[in-house]
Homo-oligomer: A and B are copies of this chain.
Amino acid sequence: MTVLQPVRKTPHFADTQIEMAHGAGGIASRRLVEGLIGSYLSNPILQTFADAATISVNGSNVATTADGFVVKPLRFPGGSIGELAVNGTLNDLAVSAAKPIALMATLILEAGLPTSTLESEVEAMAIAARKAGVCIVGGDTKVVEHGKADGMYVSTFGIGLVDGRVRIDAASIQPGDRILLSGPIGAHGITILLARGELDLQADLVSDTRPVWPFVSALMDRCASGVRWMRDPTRGGVATSLNELVRGTAYGVALYEDCVPMHDAVRGACELLGLDPLHIANEGQFLAVVAAEHADAALAAVRGVAGGEEAILIGEVRAEPKQRVIGINGYGGTRVIDMLVGDPLPRIC
């Protein structure tokens, strides 16, 4: 049931102090998590960049996930930290093909936080959990002095029962497999950026935060045997998720860049700010790799669920170039799409 941890490997992390980029979900985060944290906590179950870990409980496969939330501002168009904490954790379970059993949460509150703010977030958590048919069964509350936090931070933990019909495994992908995306990208990250009011930009945009389980569930009902891998492209965006996918395989991904849907406001803001929309965080989308022969059925399944109408196939797995994500535009031009570098949008979740 439990596995003893091996002796630690030598840490490979040269930075002398923690910077914002180490929390951005891109290359710096990977260096920190793999180079330092993973060198001490290494064990057969821990996959440092997976969304959830699968453990065996008396023979049942149970997915567990943990997420910290420090989004700023606490409320933004389309959502808030409490709602995000619940849906973000549920989504990590969903892309692990796990139906939630229970959630827990810890709150770190800054002294002086208005009770009404806390109440709004607890209510948002309750509503999001209730919509998903799951209970928050426990938690913990700590308070730190004024100036030692930023309103409130939330950590959520979820456990779910893995659907036995699918086996989510990056190593199972094959050349020819298709990449399915559930809808337009970048709405969450750009909404947070605009909500801070630091830029003289306004747009009619709301975060895409929502549970992805209804789409995942429809996908599994329709073509469980064709689903090889899923991921919700949050911090670091679609580009980082796809790089994480190919990294552990012998294959690459070709992304049809012109097919990737996004709101005009996201495209415009990214052009103005020099950001790549493929690096912007999403909180209500997921990526799936499906076998070619199941691709049409998979797309129909997701499109058949309200809110999934814009689902689309955005690329495919290819034999070459290995462990690379290549963007192909409408004119046949290509570019290497890398993981996020630096932290252009701190504290987006």
Question: B-contacting residues of A (Cβ < 8 Å)?
Answer: 1-5, 8, 11, 13, 15-24, 29, 32-33, 36-37, 40-41, 43-47, 50, 52-53, 55, 57-60, 62, 64-70, 100-102, 104-116, 118-119, 122-123, 125-126, 129-130, 133-145, 147-150, 153, 155, 157, 159, 161, 346-347
Q: How far is the CA of A329 from the CA of B22 in the complex (A)?
A: 56
A37 near B161 with CB under 8 A, answer no
Q: How far is the CA of A102 from the CA of B68 in the complex (A)?
A: 18
CB-contact partner of A137 in B23, B37, B43, under 8 A: B43
A141 to chain B, nearest CB (A): 6
Interface of A: prevailing SS: mixed
Q: How far is the CA of A154 from the CA of B2 in the complex (A)?
A: 22
B66 near A161 with CB under 8 A, answer no
CB-contact partner of A46 in B2, B100, B109, B137, under 8 A: B137
Q: How far is the CA of A122 from the CA of B33 in the complex (A)?
A: 11
A67 to chain B, nearest CB (A): 5
Question: A59 — which chain B residues lie within 8 A by C-beta?
Answer: 58
The answer to whether residues A18 and B109 also contact, given A2-B101, A104-B157 and a CB cut-off of 8 A, is yes
Residue of B nearest to A119 (CB): B36
CB-contact partner of A126 in B41, B101, B106, B118, under 8 A: B41
Question: A347 — which chain B residues lie within 8 A by C-beta?
Answer: 142, 144-145
Residue of B nearest to A41 (CB): B136
B107 near A68 with CB under 8 A, answer yes
